[in-house]
Amino acid sequence: MFYIEKGVNIYVTRGDKLPLAISMLNQDKTQYLFKEGEVIGIKVIEKENMANVLLEKKFTVEKDSEVVDIDLLSEDTRIGELINEPEEYWYEIELNPDTSDTNTIVGYDQKKGAPLFVLLPEGGKKNDNS
């Protein structure tokens, strides 16, 4: 299960696949056209510790498009150990990370703060005591 709150905060059950549709506006508010070969990167970061990146994935744009679909896999959302209550992290999404053309699509905002990536508890495995 996953949902996105206020268009930016992501809630996902730990261990679930997370499909995301990424789009971006140009400075003139027109829709950005992602170009084949560009890279979209996502990082999940320890809350209030931007230096501690817990997950980093990069996706290459396969064809020119205004929307690019990226998927975090089940193993990607299994950050840390099993949890019994929601665990909050921060995240950011960038276009062409690690280049001179890096552009943050979703990231820390001075007015709103950091976008949240919230893991919801998943059930563990049955203990077999036989």
pTM of the predicted protein model: 0.90
Query: How far is the C-alpha of 120 from the C-alpha of 86, rounded, in Å?
Result: 5
Residue with tokens 């971006």: 24
**DSSP H or E run through 4:** strand 2-5
pLDDT digits (tens, 9 = 90+) for 8-63: 999 999 999 999 999 999 999 999 999 999 999 999 999 999 999 999 999 999 99
Neighbours of 95 (CB within 10 A): 20
Query: How far is the C-alpha of 99 from the C-alpha of 109, rounded, in Å?
Result: 21
